[in-house]
Amino acid sequence: MQTKKLAVFDFDGTLFLTDGALLKAALRVTGRPLTREEVWALPHPLSYAVRFATEQDTLTPEPNKNTIDRLNERAREGYKVVILTGRSQEAAEQTLEIARKNGLRYNEAYFHPGTLQPTFKEFKAQKLGELAEGYDLVEVYEDREHVINHYKAIFGPDKFIYFLVKDGKLLRV
């Protein structure tokens, strides 16, 4: 029987290098300069305000060639390819247009409902669990270490392979 394989890609910071826009949006929303880590640690609903401000700032984000090449390679190899992002449903059209323009060969894309709950990482973990059902191998690409740690705590190493995207590079973790 053939192995069923799934590859799941985060969008911001993973497929596209949008940290600059994130920091700019955080400054606009909070009125003070923050580091990437400080932005990630922002409490609700501030984190949502920054996320949605970032979406407006990233109409032409810089592609991360390493991750995009991997995504298209996995598509050619017969993996099901999914984009799973904390971007809101409202930004879906704009985001998928960016994906199309950059030649991303994905099968499905999932967006955060844009509500206060669930949190980004809870939303992603829940969706990842649903997606992984029936697959023998699941690769996950994500730039936030705490999100990967959350996945690991729930799904373990069993059939999952985790890649952290750091400075544009893919690190198996």
Judged by the rule CB under 5 A, the positions of this chain that interact with Mg ion are: 10, 12-13, 143
Distance CA 99, CA 97 (A): 5
Rounded least distance, CB 170 to Mg ion, Å:
13
Closer to Mg ion by Cβ: residue 10 or 160: 10
Rounded least distance, CB 108 to Mg ion, Å:
18
Closer to Mg ion by Cβ: residue 138 or 164: 164
Closer to Mg ion by Cβ: residue 40 or 79: 40
Rounded least distance, CB 144 to Mg ion, Å:
5
Rounded least distance, CB 9 to Mg ion, Å:
10
Q: Which residue is nearest to Mg ion (CB)?
A: 13
The strand pairing partners of 140, in sequence order, are 8, 162
Closer to Mg ion by Cβ: residue 148 or 158: 148
